[in-house]
Amino acid sequence: MVKVGIIGASGFTGAELLRIAAHHPEYDVVYATGDSQAGIRVADLYPSLAGAYPDLVFDTFDIDKASGLDLVYLGLPHEASMAMAPQLVGHVGCIVDLSAAYRLKEASHYPTYYGFEHDQLGLLRDAVYGLPELHRAELSGATLVATPGCHVTTAVLALRPFVEAGLIELNGITIDTMTGITGAGRKPTNTNLFTSIDSNVEAYGFLTHRHTPEIEQELGAQVLLTPHLVPMSRGLLATCHARPVADAGMSTESLLALLRDRWADEPFVVVATGSPSTKATLGSNAVHVTARYDERTNTVLAIAALDNLAKGASGGAVQAANVALGLDETAGLTKIGVAP
């Protein structure tokens, strides 16, 4: 069995990791921290987990308790993860970080997009980006994995095949996303109050959203990202617009064929002929993608949907960890959504 620790298990991504871990045939969760909830039973904070963890209690972080574990997930704020990872390297088998602390290969982006200087450049260089669909070979045997952002996974899996095929212009790509309130985290703020989110849709992160350089890094193209907060608990839908290169000679049928060919062997990418929806991916590690070509405006339209807490965060982290540890990549995960 893989001995697992979850640091920051009391947050939404931590709770989702606990949910997925309960179904993982190789996992034994032996350590779960949540400093603000230390001493509280997991089942009391998240009754949905009571059946799997009736006696597990949130602990405080102690390096001695983490040392020797096969796998440690970090569900912490960005700077906290950057500070903690060096303490764990060499003491645990594999670290999977769900923050952005090790996602960006260009350290100069951190002050601009995250407001801090990166002081762990060696680890930043060594970290493997945890999107198996693009980095499976590098993930094998990795000891530090940077889990992708949810907006990034959605948009990149929708657009990357067209970039690779040289079918779309690499500048001026627009990405509009709609995301659930859990993306804002568990800590109460004015943004996630019921009275703020109920019956309301609001754009945020104008021009400088944190996931912009990450999307550009993984897509290899210039993008304008505009996220929108919508009144649902979880889910993310990305609508992407791009200009085809001259004389591309494309059609909706050819775009869909390319998506099917590129993602044919991927266990969690579903190419849809209809419109992807967040509800179809709820609770699953699946991402649903589709595309259209609009001859009238000469525009490529690519759309993708996923569960922002599952494939967009904790599920994607487990998928990457499975690859890193040489386990079945699909272990503990499903591509079947919960509906109705």
Of 1, 3, 6, give the one whose Cα is nearest residue 17.
6
DSSP labels, 232-273: SSS-EEEEEEEPBPTT----HHHHHHHHHHHTTT-TTEEE-S
Give CA–CA dist 88/141, Å, rounded: 16
Residues whose CB falls within 8 Å of the CB of residue 25, separated by 6 or more in sequence, listed in order: 331, 332
Give CA–CA dist 130/139, Å, rounded: 7
- The number of angstroms, rounded, from the C-alpha of 188 to the middle of its chain's C-alpha atoms is 22
Q: Are residues 215 and 156 in contact, defined by beta-carbon separation less than 8 angstroms?
A: yes
Q: Which of 92, 150, 248, 300 is catalytic?
A: 150
29 membership: H or E segment, kind and range: strand 27-33
Answer yes or no: 240 catalytic.
no
Structure tokens at 9: 């298990």
Residue 42 CB coordination number (10 Å): 25
In angstroms and rounded to an integer, the radius of gyration of the C-alpha atoms of the chain is 20
Of 173, 176, 150, give the one whose Cα is nearest residue 287.
150
- The number of angstroms, rounded, from the C-alpha of 250 to the middle of its chain's C-alpha atoms is 31
Structure tokens at 141: 């045997």
Vertex 97: Cα angle to 100 and 56 (nearest 5)? 130
Q: List active site positions.
A: 150
